[in-house]
Structure 1
């Protein structure tokens, strides 16, 4: 499977201080992430267009530019060369166009988002802002991350694979769900029950829902209701084809530390991340293959419709074969 295009996580905003420079590797490319003196985040191809030094290894921020460690050429976040300290005259090409390949960057939800497209086409849609991660009145995010052999499409497909909730996550019943599509947006809602243990040792069935909005291949927020209510950003960024970093970033309404509500929030987070959640999926994702022409039954959920939706995020010649039900 190829690497889809869209907006993808490349860092948390709080982890990139003014003047910081970080070497990254995503989308099969070496990149450099930096923050200018005025606070703007920039992402460029890692290798200097002059003589190929890695800008993320020894490069430094000076004002609104990143200086190369080799000959001190300086590049703005838009890829233009802003200074060559030993040049008598700036080369004409450097005055007309960017020399370094730059990437569109957005910062919202506490995340640094980068637009990736293999043909370097400008963004065709925008990042969605989430009130839960942007406005006061929400708890500090709780973050988890994993890296394994898979890709954003396989991970996102879980949301419409209703049958697996019963068998992988031990939910008492297969959730009934519905999904709608609107261009690059996918919205889904599934409702079911989960069995929880009460303090007296007895078991109780709790109604639960999972409501998701997916904005392209790399941005998704999920609202989880049950014992407690959680907001979850699911952040899947391809490192290479079939090599992905997955991050879960949770928030909820504040609760006093150590209170029953606080304990319940953290138990719900661990439930969602542990074997009853994503860590139950990861071994399957890691070792499965992608069946482009799967044989499905009527209880599987709208998997084929989801795949038709996801096809739009691959360029021609780099998309999985169109999925059809095997005869």
Structure 2
């Protein structure tokens, strides 16, 4: 499969200090991530347009730019050359164009997002902000990460594949819900009830719900409400076409340590990351192939509708991903 375009995680903001320079490899490309002295994060193609040195290995931040370790050419986050220390005149193209290919960057929700498009088309929509990941009253995020052979579509499609919940996650039922598609945004909401055993041994029925917002191929937010409220960012970044890094970033209202609510949150996170959650899915994703023409039946869920939504994020689709065999 091709790599879909969109906004993708490239780093957590608190892991990139002023002056930091980090080599990255995403989207099948070598990249460099840096934070200049003004605090602005930048993502550029890794190789200097001058003579090809890797800016992420030996490059240093100088003012608002990153300097190449080879000849000290400097580049701003927008890709424009800001300095050639030994040149009497800039090459004409360096005056009018960003010669170090830049990637648009947003820093929101505690994440540094980079916009990828195979033809360098400017962003078609923006990152959605979720205040709970950066606002007072919410716990410091809990983070997990995995890497395996898959892609953002397979991971996102998992949520509409209702039949697999019984066989992979050993779940008795999946609450029915409603889904709306609005351009690049997919919004779903499912509500039901859950029986929870309390510390005194009694069982109480709690209303529960799952709300999901998919913002293009690379940003997905889920809020689980029930005994407690748990917010989750699902961050799937393609390394290559079928090699992906997946991150789960959780937060929740602050609770007293060892309280019932704190233990309930720990259990919810464990369920989401364990066999009843992503740990059950990863071995399937890692070895499966993508069937462009899947043979589906009536209990499979709205997979084709989801594919019609997701195929808009492929710039070079030779054939639609929403076809099914009859």
Which band: TM-score by shorter chain?
Answer: over 0.9
Query: 1:107: which partner in 2?
Result: 107
Say which SS state the counterpart of residue 102 (structure 2) adopts.
coil
Structure 1 residue 135: deviation in Å?
2.3
Question: CA–CA distance in 2 between the matches of 1:322 and 1:263?
Answer: 42
Structure 1 residue 83: deviation in Å?
0.5
Question: CA–CA distance in 2 between the matches of 1:37 and 1:191?
Answer: 47
Structure 1 residue 225: deviation in Å?
2.1
Query: 2:323: which partner in 1?
Result: 324
Q: State how 1:36-47 maps to structure 2 within 5 Å.
A: 36-47=36-47
Cα gap change, 1:240/1:201 in structure 2, threshold over 3 Å: closer, same or farther? Answer: farther
Is the 1:6–1:313 contact (alpha carbons within 8 Å) kept by the matching residues of 2? yes
Question: CA–CA distance in 2 between the matches of 1:128 and 1:187?
Answer: 13
Q: State how 1:165-184 maps to structure 2 within 5 Å.
A: 165-184=165-184
Cα gap change, 1:107/1:11 in structure 2, threshold over 3 Å: closer, same or farther? Answer: same
Structure 1 residue 202: deviation in Å?
8.5
Structure 1 residue 194: deviation in Å?
5.7
Cα gap change, 1:197/1:208 in structure 2, threshold over 3 Å: closer, same or farther? Answer: same
Query: 2:87: which partner in 1?
Result: 87
Is the 2:292–2:324 contact (alpha carbons within 8 Å) kept by the matching residues of 1? no
Question: CA–CA distance in 2 between the matches of 1:192 and 1:45?
Answer: 47
2:77 is aligned with 1:69: no
Is the 2:305–2:322 contact (alpha carbons within 8 Å) kept by the matching residues of 1? no
Question: CA–CA distance in 1 between the matches of 2:140 and 2:6?
Answer: 27
Is the 2:227–2:261 contact (alpha carbons within 8 Å) kept by the matching residues of 1? no
Structure 1 residue 164: deviation in Å?
1.7
Is the 1:171–1:193 contact (alpha carbons within 8 Å) kept by the matching residues of 2? no
The alignment's C-alpha RMSD in Å is: 1.8
Say which SS state the counterpart of residue 269 (structure 2) adopts.
helix
Is the 2:311–2:322 contact (alpha carbons within 8 Å) kept by the matching residues of 1? no
Structure 1 residue 71: deviation in Å?
0.6
Structure 1 residue 325: deviation in Å?
3.0
2:5 is aligned with 1:5: yes
Q: State how 1:239-258 maps to structure 2 within 5 Å.
A: 239-258=239-258
2:138 is aligned with 1:138: yes
Structure 1 residue 263: deviation in Å?
1.7
2:215 is aligned with 1:215: yes
Cα gap change, 1:295/1:205 in structure 2, threshold over 3 Å: closer, same or farther? Answer: farther
Question: CA–CA distance in 2 between the matches of 1:99 and 1:167?
Answer: 52
Question: CA–CA distance in 2 between the matches of 1:238 and 1:289?
Answer: 16
2:18 is aligned with 1:53: no
Q: State how 1:194-209 maps to structure 2 within 5 Å.
A: 208-209=208-209
Say which SS state the counterpart of residue 51 (structure 2) adopts.
coil
How many residue pairs end up in the alignment? 326
Structure 1 residue 41: deviation in Å?
0.3
TM-score (norm: length of structure 1): 0.95
Q: Which runs of 5+ in 2 are unaligned?
A: none
Structure 1 residue 257: deviation in Å?
1.7
Say which SS state the counterpart of residue 325 (structure 1) adopts.
coil
Cα gap change, 1:200/1:261 in structure 2, threshold over 3 Å: closer, same or farther? Answer: closer
Structure 1 residue 246: deviation in Å?
0.4
Say which SS state the counterpart of residue 125 (structure 1) adopts.
coil
TM-score (norm: length of structure 2): 0.95
Query: 1:310: which partner in 2?
Result: 310
Query: 1:276: which partner in 2?
Result: 276
Cα gap change, 1:203/1:282 in structure 2, threshold over 3 Å: closer, same or farther? Answer: farther
Question: CA–CA distance in 2 between the matches of 1:195 and 1:170?
Answer: 16
Deviates more, 1:173-182 or 1:211-220: 173-182
Q: Deviations over 1:259-279 (max 9, x none)?
A: 221122112111101111111
Query: 1:231: which partner in 2?
Result: 231
Q: Which runs of 5+ in 1 are unaligned?
A: none
Query: 2:96: which partner in 1?
Result: 96
Question: CA–CA distance in 2 between the matches of 1:8 and 1:197?
Answer: 39
